[in-house]
Structure 1
Amino acid sequence: MIGRLPLDQQLECLRATLSRNEVLTKVLARAATLNLPGWYLTAGCLFQTVWNVVTGRPPTSGIKDYDVFYFDSDDVSWEAEDAVIKAGREVFAGLAAEVEIRNEARVHLWYEDKFGVACPPYESTEAAIDSFAATTCCLGVRTEADGEWRVYAPHGLSDVFNLVVRPNPVLAPQSVYEAKAARWQEQWPELTVLDWPAMSSAAPSTDG
């Protein structure tokens, strides 16, 4: 099983697996042209591509959008983020996918109004990825100037390849985790969903 390979081999398998999703590779290539600070392609489009390939489904099956996170703390205005979103619409035009772009440096400004709880300011895109509802979701990929892939996977890749959904009780509450897990398990019934740990509580999350 890929999830039991050494990490360097898992990384090779991750790139090979994600590359089977042609929409994803196009999003990666086009996102790089935006030159966004600290950007990653992240969330559902990554781990769900892996799930699809591992279970023999078409690589794009069940993927609703492609999330691009970046981090610009120098200008956390909506106008600045909106300008990036509009530039992204042009860059991603013609793709058979919805691409959502967010400046993670300003999430704390709107999070409480939307979810009813405060979100501490993130210090980086990586910190935002760390807060996803499941550790399995904590994954980010970008392409560097030399064409190499940079992978952020704070919890490793074994769960992703082994189809294990593991809770990450640092921000999202149990209800969000369980709702997401139930939705994913409807699409990918092969998943093993682990229970939320006892005596743990948190606030809403926005992963894919």
Structure 2
Amino acid sequence: MTIQNRYQAQAEAFVKEDAAMQEALKLVRELKLPEGRIAAGFVRNYIWNRLHGRDGHGLINDTDVVYFDPVRVEEDRDHEYESILMEQNPYWKWSVKNQARMHLRNGAEPYQSVEDALSRWVETATAVGVRLNDHNELEWVIPWGLQDLMELKIRKSPKFHDEAYYYARVNAKQWLNRWPKLVMVEASHEHRA
């Protein structure tokens, strides 16, 4: 078993044993969003909490839902999905974003998929998305793998080029204080494949 497979099995075990996360994944599945995933802090913070021996849901600020629909890119559509999710489960603070238009906000070339969009997110450990398929199996989008997430490393994604923003974001979020086992990898160091 490769290290990537081992980390994925561990991450899947964490997610599968949490009933609230399973419910959230089922609600997103019912929306049938193209390439729909729950991403970012929903996964990252939960895994970091578990690896620190804490309740999995502490420090999860919002539930980022991402999808890719180049035909219907109106922001109002995202708000409609958020309202549906809030009606069904207000426990999670839902934030839905169509990645087919997010390149405009980020001043980038158009993204081609959810995976392409996630690969441009700030940190490798944040560039993780998961969904529950119709067979109740987890499907992951992990452009930079799970190694940094599972090894408690904060690293700038190779496709994210604003180092000042990266450092400011990590400091503002106070991750190193909240999760003392985290290690920050300097932005100038290359990502391990």
TM over 0.5: yes
Instruction: Give structure 1 regions of 4+ aligned residues with deviation exceeding 4 angstroms.
Output: none
Task: Report the alpha carbon displacement of residue 76 of structure 1 after superposing the two structures with TM.
Answer: 1.3
Structure 2: runs of 5 or more not aligned: none
Matched residue type, 1:190: K
- Contact kept, 8 Å, 1:23 with 1:97, in 2: the verdict is no
Report whether the alignment pairs 1:131 with 2:131. no
Aligned to 2:24: 27
Task: Report the alpha carbon displacement of residue 172 of structure 1 after superposing the two structures with TM.
Answer: 5.3
Measure, in 2, the Cα distance between the counterparts of 1:20 and 1:181: 29
Alignment counterpart, residue 70 of structure 1, candidates 45, 64, 67: 67
- Contact kept, 8 Å, 1:92 with 1:99, in 2: the verdict is no
Q: How many residues align?
A: 187
- Contact kept, 8 Å, 2:78 with 2:98, in 1: the verdict is yes
- Contact kept, 8 Å, 1:88 with 1:101, in 2: the verdict is no
- Contact kept, 8 Å, 1:122 with 1:128, in 2: the verdict is yes
Once the two structures are aligned, what percentage of the paired residues are identical?
Answer: 26
Aligned to 2:177: 186
TM-score by length of structure 1 reads 0.81
- Contact kept, 8 Å, 1:72 with 1:105, in 2: the verdict is yes
* 1:16-165 equivalent positions in 2, closer than 5 A: 16-93=13-90, 96-109=91-104, 111=105, 118-165=107-154
Task: Provide the aligned C-alpha RMSD in A.
Answer: 2.0
Secondary structure in structure 2 of the residue aligned to 1:196: coil
Matched residue type, 1:191: L
| 1:101-152 superposed Cα distances (whole Å, 9 cap, x missing partner) | 111112134x16xxxxx22221111111111111122211101111111011
- Contact kept, 8 Å, 1:21 with 1:60, in 2: the verdict is no
- Contact kept, 8 Å, 1:69 with 1:104, in 2: the verdict is yes
Secondary structure in structure 1 of the residue aligned to 2:61: coil
Structure 1: runs of 5 or more not aligned: 113-117, 199-208
TM-score by length of structure 2 reads 0.87
